[in-house]
Chains A and B, each alone.
Chain A
Amino acid sequence: MTLPTKSFPFRLILQQVGEVGLLFGRTIVSVFRKPRETKIFIQQLEEVGVRSLPVVSLTAAFGGLVFALQTYFGFHRYIGIGSEAYGGPIVTLGLTKEIIPILVGLMVAGRVGSAMAAEIGTMKITEQIDALYSLGADPIRYLVVPRTLACLIMVPILTLYGDIIGILCAYFFNVSMGVNRVVYMRNTLLYLELGDVLGGLIKAGIFGVVIAIIGSWQGLKTEGGAEGVGRATTKAVVISSIIILVLNFFLSKAMPESLGI
């Protein structure tokens, strides 16, 4: 059947949103169904969490450094010499609420989301998904649930780790530029609230679910040979990255200034 040209993109988008929604719904239902795939879940915790540590360390460190650099020069130029220590709370809030959750989300989407799409996509084209069905293992329960839960848990943990690295790097940069360490730390701790950090972690958890669902969805709908796997992998990264960036704005807008903690 040929779709009318004008309505085609809209219908395609609706169809894809429907597919993702359906997969998400089936994943939630399958979380509560037995048997639980504990071994795969633990493997995924390692894959998503432990193996992402180097890339998260690097991006958080340089994210913290560059943000500290611009804040330092901003205060230095527009407020005046000696005001740089007041940049501490701005750097910390910016890192914990926005920069680190986004950086970690994008890095995990690139590293883990692509791997999920490639692995599940290869399983699809080599009939391993059909083999799972024939051997009594629902692919949603066996493949998607452990990956989604692992991302839901590990992306916030990675974000918290990234927050610490980013804040420390920003602190050392300011100290190396001659900022008084006591004033910098006192200002930072004075304005930083637990709710700010928590808000970033909640967003990171949502990004984790997005990465796992989009990666699995692209993997499960892979068609063709190696080319199809390549296409699914690229799409998984691009789609989840766009969703993370768009979702971040709306989540930041929807969240209270501080979570009231």
Chain B
Amino acid sequence: MIRINNLYKSFGPNKVLQGINLHIQNGETLAIIGQSGSGKSVLLKHMLGLIQPDRGSIIVAGVEISGSSEVELDNIRQKFGLLFQAAALFDSLTVAQNVSFGLERYRDLSRKELQKKVKESLAMVGLREVEQLMPYELSGGMKKRVGLARAIAYEPEIMLYDEPSTGIDPIRADAINELIIKMKQEFRITSVVITHDMTSAYKVADRIAMLYNGKIVTVGTPEELRKSDNQIVQQFIHGRAEGPIKEW
């Protein structure tokens, strides 16, 4: 579904991605773990064509997206739903308008169907009677769930989650984990989950990839990762300050 070949990206002197190779299968959930600032979100934005690589290629459903025109990118982006780290709700729109934003552009629905779909999407993330609220009236966790409702509303083929459990309580975080699993089981959605929450990664992922120093240091099932003899991986998954990772 998504193939990333030899991807390089720098911002000035800061080399963020240094030769990423990753293959995400159709219908699988891949978690990408790594320290804060390790370039996980940058990698995610490359998959949507929001950032252009310095070198390398990203192929989504057989289409090369690095170097595609805006019109081609628009077509590819329809396949994606993206949950942003800080929700990125549009400040000037109500919750209902936020959720229906992608639906109006990607699907040809009547006003009634649109309203029904908005209600259903909000219900899926456990929100009711919030349609007319403005984003500033919502708590951080509610914003995140509205962001998720907006991303899943138009039933994308690929879901990208940027830190889905950050900023919400453990119970709601687990409910979102359940939702990610449900989306995969019921709709065969391919998912990429960026996280440093190992509980979430173990629960939702079929495979886990670890990003360190701009490279993927390991890819494997949660069980393989637990048993890995790579000291960087062991330090990260056990959350230890002592070990080969010194930058923190």
Q: Which residues of A contact B (CB under 8 A)?
A: 35, 122-123, 126-128, 130-131, 133-138
Contacts and interface: CB of A to CB of B under 8 A. Distances in A.
4 tightest A-B contacts by CB? A136-B105, A135-B102, A127-B88, A131-B88
Given A136-B77, A136-B78, A130 B84 contact: yes
Nearest to B81: A134
A45 to B, nearest CB: 16
B50 interface: yes
Contacts of A136: 74, 77-78, 102, 105-106
Given A134-B82, A136-B102, A138-B70, A128 B90 contact: yes
Nearest to B151: A134
A123 B102 CA distance: 17
Given A35-B105, A122-B91, A134 B86 contact: no
A89 to B, nearest CB: 47
User: What bracket does the count of chain B residues touching chain A fall in?
Assistant: 20 to 34
A133 B50 contact: yes
Contacts of B70: 138
A135 B101 contact: yes
Interface in B104-120: 105-106
B77 A134 contact: yes
Q: Is the interface of B mostly helix, strand, loop or mixed?
A: mixed
Contacts, number: 53
A133 B90 contact: no
A131 B90 contact: yes
Interface of B: 45, 48-50, 70, 73-74, 77-78, 80-82, 84-86, 88-91, 101-102, 105-106, 150
A134 B105 contact: no
B94 to A, nearest CB: 13
A126 B86 CA distance: 8
16 contacts: A127-B84, A128-B88, A128-B89, A128-B91, A130-B82, A130-B88, A131-B89, A133-B49, A133-B73, A134-B48, A134-B80, A134-B102, A135-B106, A135-B150, A136-B78, A138-B70
Contacts of A127: 84-86, 88
Contact of A137 (B73, B91, B101): B101
A131 B84 contact: yes
A138 B70 CA distance: 9
B90 A134 contact: no
Most buried by B among A126, A134, A137: A134
Contacts of A122: 91
B137 to A, nearest CB: 16
A136 B48 CA distance: 11
A227 to B, nearest CB: 18
